[in-house]
Amino acid sequence: MTYARIAGIGSFLPEKVVSNKDLEKIMETSDEWIRERTGIKRRHIAGEGETTGSMGLEAAKRAMDMAGVSADDIDLIILGTATPDKVFPSTACIIQRRLGAKGGPAFDVHAACSGFLYGLDLANRYVQTGGAQKALVIGSETLSRITNWEDRGTAVLFGDGAGAVVLEACDEPGIMATHIHANGEYEELLHVKQGVSIGYDITRKGEAFIEMNGNAVFKRAVATFDSIARETIADLDGHIDDIDWFVPHQANMRIIKAAAKKIGLPMERVIATVDEHANTSGASIPLALDQAVRDGRIKRGDTLLMAAFGAGFTWGSAMLKF
């Protein structure tokens, strides 16, 4: 049987950093208030000329460098993003051109914060069925450009960045199980009101930005993390003690802690970077994974559980041997 394994990982963060103290200067908030409710200390914000595509490209290059592969080796590119560079072509195609990769499929997946895991699920299926040998799965976001900086309820939460992995075909299990789901019933709890077909007009104050019912999203996120984790572990006839590291979507430290407690994992086995990166949506899991791999916490052979929850609502998980 053919499996897909992570051969390399990379990430990219914009140079510009906005701290909670910086936000105190432009809105009615405080460092203490933000930390208490979210655990966030700072976030990276894309500068002039930095886009979802340019950041995704840099993360992809770093992942390819770790994997020891060239653009000619890549035969599939999937980008999870809610903030593409253009309406069309896909930002994955833009990254493909800039890499110099040609011929293989390249497309975007729009599943908000679950976008990277949706992409991982799809790429895993391509590899397992022989449709690809080496695939790039990227999560990249410029959420700052759909953030209302006058709304402290959302502005303090989001940041920009990108992460990527190279998947390659192998004989030994890498990705052992993936699950993805959605329920559009909760559409208006976390959304941007405007869009291409219904009309996009940034002059309609507040409507072109992220809107969120924070309390409702918090409750659904914690419950969903628990259910998706148990579904994934049960699929493999496993136990929570089999997990070396839990790598969740980095939305809010309170959500991460509550989810870990509900699942039954101590925080010592949870990768959390939301304090430094804020919520980078589809980029958050590969960003956190890359940091933990490069600082030596996650090692080859470790068993990882990843889980995400996002607008839609969408949610997903992956269990793998790194």
For the chain, where are the E strands, in sequence order? 3-12, 17-19, 42-44, 76-80, 106-109, 134-142, 160-170, 175-182, 190-192, 210-212, 245-248, 303-310, 314-321
- Residue 206: predicted pLDDT: 66
pLDDT tier at 230 (50, 70, 90 boundaries)?
A: confident
Task: Output the pTM of the full model.
Answer: 0.97
- What architecture (CATH level 2) is domain 176-321? 3-Layer(aba) Sandwich (3.40)
Q: Which residues are CB-neighbours of 153 under 8 A, at least 6 positions away?
A: 212, 214
Superfamily in which the 3-172 domain is placed by CATH: Thiolase/Chalcone synthase (3.40.47.10)
Give the tens place of pLDDT for each residue, 90-123: 999 999 999 999 999 999 999 999 999 999 999 9
Give pairs for 201-204: CB < 8 Å, separation 24+.
none
- The two counts, helices (H) then strands (E), for the chain are 10, 13
* Candidates 20, 93, 249, 252; catalytic one: 249
CA distance linking residue 239 with residue 140, whole number of Å: 32
- Residue 200: predicted pLDDT: 78
Q: What average pLDDT score do residues 301-306 get? A: 97
3-state secondary structure 208-242: CCEEECHHHHHHHHHHHHHHHHHHHHHHCCCCHHH
- Residue 115: predicted pLDDT: 98
Give the tens place of pLDDT for each residue, 144-175: 999 999 999 999 999 999 999 999 999 999 99
Average pLDDT, the chain: 95
Active site residue 277: no
Active site residue 20: no
Query: Does 239 have pLDDT greater than 90?
Result: no
Selection from 319, 306, 317, 9 nearest residue 174 by Cα: 319
Q: Are 316 and 117 in contact (CB under 8 A)?
A: yes
- Residue 205: predicted pLDDT: 66
Active site residue 249: yes
The domain limits of the chain are 3-172, 176-321
* Candidates 20, 44, 93, 113; catalytic one: 113
